[in-house]
Chains A and B, each alone.
Chain A
Amino acid sequence: MEPTKTHVSHDATHDAHHEASFLTKYIFSSDHKVIGIQYAMCGLLFLLFGFGLIMAMRWQIAKPGESIPIIGSLLQSLLGSEVAKGGVMSPALYNTFGAMHGTIMVFMGIVPLAFAGFGNYVVPLQIGAPDMAFPRLNMASFWVFFLGAVVMFASFFIPGGAAQAGWTSYSPLASVVPTDGQVYWLVGMVMLITSSLLGAVNFIATIIQLRAPGMTWMKLPFFVWAQFVTAFLLLLAFPPLEAAGVMQLMDKLAGTSFFLPTGLFVAGQPTDISGGGSPLLWQHLFWFLGHPEVYVLILPAIGIVTEVTANATRRPIWGYKVMVGALFVLGFLSFIVWAHHMYLTGMGTKVATFFQTTTMIISIPSVVLLTCLFMSLWRGSIRFTAASLFALSFLPMFGIGGLTGLPLGFNFTDIHLHDTYYVIAHFHYVIAPGTIFGLFAGIYYWYPKMTGRKMSEFWGRVHFWCSLVFMNLVFFPMFKQGMDGLSRRMSDGGATYAGQDGVLGLAPSTLATNLDIAYAAWGLALAQVPFIINFFWSIRHGEKVTSDNPWNSTTLEWQTPTPPPHGNFVGELHVNHGPYEYSHPDHPQTDYLPQNAPAHPAPDVTRQPHKV
């Protein structure tokens, strides 16, 4: 086997003669690694911002009508005293923050970070490609995304504020709320969708066309498979929402009635519309995207967790081929489960039965993936690092999120749980301690490749344990609140219904939990401080890596110089091994066999021993 070389300097770069200016190198770059980092930084920033929105909302839920400390006066001066008088969050502002929290977290936080960020940086490296198949398209994709984000953020400051109709933007509500924020939302969404489409085309073409010699399909790291299926979901599920967005824009701007029914009254007044539209049509088109979107959020994280788990356990992934199969089944089924979000719309019991059946079937491939990952831990000598701790905790957290989804997938239990805090707890377990923990694992894991330094292990563990505890303290009580009947989207956290009799009444203990959750949410925010400091501090002051492959990993991204130069790989590359050949019995010298190691390593006594 070839000894691992260290290329910390750039002198081996082919393009050294072609000195790019700062602007073309770091801002308008067509290098997949720079674009990946641009996406990831934007994604992280937007995640933090979206988290900030919900923290203000949690204050309003816990202490309705009280002035928000610290940022209350800031909100009043930024957004006007109409919506934040005396620093108190008005119901309209609560709706705005709620709608934008969902939109920002899903479309501008996790998709850019998980799919576009990690995907751009890691996928070409892992398949041994010099760049993406269409580098300039890649740059266009980022800048369209960026413009879409600018439009979204600009909408906070227009008269009336940003969109208020939830991240789902159900019509007719979305069409009649008295703000142009919805128009901004739609225009922003069309841009974000266009960006995703360009990205998806690029990813799929890259994975099909630019695999290095010898990189056959079944030698692809699982992360690449996950991104491949994710790209197909984006490619095929997003356009119907784009169509729906265009139609809702027509409703807003041209006065059409695609989603507005005949005889619609708004605030007691008949509307000047032709009618004849269908509110249900919006919901179908939205959830046709909305459900595959859930898998767009989760699959890249599962991919990262797989990479980190294999590396941490020093064992091949158990059932790699089964996992790839499960991924495709999952991707296909995700297109035919969407109406389980719509059981209460009156679409009919036969339709509901169909979607209930497919929803139960889709849990099978999810369980297959999770089971394979659990089995991979069996008898592994697990190395607990910050990255692997996040990856390992993903498994039970995603498990809780998945299992609590079953009662929502059944028509009859969903009637009780629909639109309660139970739903919030369910999908946040999937996406917050699920996906986001997976993404943290990826950041700690690939950080040395991007910067040449490791993040602090100690502060990484502090970040992990505090996040794990507070995540659960935030979301677990919501299951109970939801089962007690606390409805979501109430700006006073249900105070209106306190102590009332009948089905709408809420017990005082249910409402008191709101304050506990708020404390936990602020604790969770504090838990991110070590991460943020660690992230920036380590760029210059982190522990320097002494090898291009500090985790002794098998996959190709670790076979490049650190950080990889423009064009990535130095010299010829041929892939001879599967993605997870850890602790290979025929290769006792080291416990890992890089994918590009020679096919039949002859016993080599002169080889330098590796530190393990």
Chain B
Amino acid sequence: MEIPYTSKDRPDTGLYNGKVGIWLFLASEVMLFGALFSAYVLLRVGSDPGTWSLGLMNKWVGAFNTLILIASSVTIVLAWVSLKLKDFAKYRFWQWTTIVFAAMFLVVKWSYEWPAKFTHYDVTFKSNEAAERAFSGAARVAGITNFTDTLKSSWQNRFDPRKQDFDKVELKDKPLDGHIVGYIDEAGHEHSVGAVLNIPFWSHAFIWRTTTLAKKKVKSLILAPSHDIWHAPHAAAPGVVRVAEAHPSAHGASHPAHTVTIPREDIQRLSSFEPKHSTFFATYYTLTGLHALHVLGGIIVMLYHLLPCNHRLWLRDPDRFAGRIEATGLFWHFVDLVWIFLFPILYLL
């Protein structure tokens, strides 16, 4: 039994089966991501002042990822063109290039962007007095005399580009964010927070807080206010902080000159920038995570198309194989397009 139109176009529709199939699949994908984008709009419009964390993303990293995805969209077209020109070696080259670009995208996302957020905490306070103590401390290590102006500009930068909500949120509900570089236990001893099992900085994001922090041995936290967001001249640079997390004795990030000690009883809520942190981060991880799974799926399909069995298919039925690469390319353009929407709504707007 032979299914008709698997490689040749049906005369009256002008399409082969795979092309109809992939366009229908993409239509359903549009509805999937459409629903998530709608959820983003509805949640963002309905969010309370001071809860939608804009301006936290490193837009240059996002821009880099956007560029390599666009480049990979070009290279997969070149792979398909090579097949149409009957040049299988060139197809292999461009297919591998696409896979390398796609893998770079995932490496940036999963080994840098996400883990960096998992080690980045923010703290809100039980009382305005406690908040004032912590913010004054942060101002002192940053070398400024009055924290109010710095707080206002960094808060507006993060939550409120239209500069209208600063007075609507109490000081205790404004987060102080930074990296946890140490803690003081109930006996008064100071400990540093370092790498677990010698795995660098993101290991404590997953392990330390589920062990030490969850077991409530902590009396006070030692926090290095974040330079990224807390726009102050003398705060520790993020690189220094991360090195300090991994190798606490090597650098001075846990030095009192760079850190603030916050008693546990002052803390209303401590959360890293994980999905649970806020609806913004929930949306961020869900959207980028689902997109990243699509990238991963694309990589797997592209690797499959490099297997020997597919070379045999190419020799047997070149049109059919080229059709599969075309369908993969259409899927890949869609994945690229989704990212082109994700980049502005999560990094820029």
Contact = CB atoms under 8 A, between A and B. Distances in A.
A271 to B, nearest CB: 12
Contacts of B36: 243, 247
Contacts of A147: none
A262 B49 CA distance: 13
Contacts of B33: 243
Interface string B1-37: 1111100001001011100110011011101111110
A201 B281 CA distance: 33
Interface in A124-139: 130-131, 133-135, 137
Given A201-B25, A240-B34, A256-B276, A250 B3 contact: no
A205 B271 CA distance: 48
Interface string A276-308: 111001001100100000000000000000000
A278 B43 contact: yes
Contacts of B285: 250, 254
B20 A209 contact: yes
B27 A236 contact: yes
A285 B279 CA distance: 17
What's the dominant secondary structure at chain B's contact region?
A: helix
A132 to B, nearest CB: 8
Given A240-B35, A247-B39, A258-B39, A276 B27 contact: no
B286 interface: yes
Interface in A248-274: 250, 254-258, 262, 273-274
Nearest to A282: B39
B238 interface: no
A284 B34 CA distance: 13
Given A205-B24, A256-B276, A210 B3 contact: yes
A239 B32 contact: yes
Interface string B38-51: 11001100111001
A592 to B, nearest CB: 28
Given A209-B5, A257-B279, A201 B31 contact: no
Most buried by A among B1, B32, B38: B1
Given A236-B28, A250-B275, A205 B35 contact: no
Contacts of B100: none
A276 B20 contact: no
B28 A239 contact: yes
B218 to A, nearest CB: 17
Interface residues of B, number: 44
A347 to B, nearest CB: 12
Contact of B43 (A205, A244, A277): A277
A276 B42 contact: no
B24 A235 contact: yes
A131 B3 contact: yes
A204 interface: yes
A254 B275 contact: yes
A581 interface: no
Contacts of A135: 3
Contacts of B274: 254
A256 B13 CA distance: 46
A489 interface: no
Contacts of A285: 35, 39
A324 interface: no
Interface residues of A, number: 47
B51 to A, nearest CB: 5
Interface string A141-164: 000000000000000000000000
A262 B279 CA distance: 10
B104 interface: no
A278 B20 contact: no
B279 A276 contact: yes
A122 B250 CA distance: 73
Contact of A205 (B17, B48, B275, B283): B17
B279 A255 contact: no
A197 B28 contact: yes
B320 interface: no
B278 interface: yes
Contact of A247 (B5, B10, B25, B286): B286
A202 B17 CA distance: 9
Contact of B27 (A202, A235, A258): A235
B279 A258 contact: yes
Contacts of A238: 28, 31
A133 B24 contact: no
Nearest to B283: A258
A208 interface: yes
A242 interface: yes
Given A209-B5, A239-B28, A277-B43, A258 B282 contact: yes
B32 A240 contact: yes
Contacts of A517: none
A242 B32 contact: yes
A201 B282 contact: no
B35 A239 contact: yes
Contacts of B279: 256-258, 274-277
B278 A274 contact: yes
B282 A256 contact: yes
A281 B43 contact: yes
B306 interface: no
Nearest to B6: A133
Contact of A566 (B1, B10, B25): B1
Contacts of A25: none
Interface string B276-305: 111101110110001000000000000000
A570 to B, nearest CB: 12
A239 B31 contact: yes
A200 interface: yes
30 contacts: A133-B3, A197-B28, A200-B28, A201-B25, A201-B28, A209-B15, A209-B16, A209-B20, A210-B3, A210-B17, A235-B24, A237-B31, A238-B31, A240-B31, A240-B34, A240-B35, A242-B32, A243-B36, A247-B282, A255-B276, A256-B279, A258-B39, A258-B282, A262-B48, A273-B276, A276-B51, A277-B43, A277-B279, A285-B39, A288-B35
* Shortest beta-carbon contacts, A-B, top 8: A256-B282, A567-B1, A240-B35, A239-B32, A243-B35, A255-B276, A239-B31, A276-B279
Given A134-B17, A274-B282, A566-B1, 10 more contacts: A131-B1, A209-B5, A209-B16, A210-B5, A242-B32, A243-B32, A246-B286, A256-B276, A258-B286, A277-B279
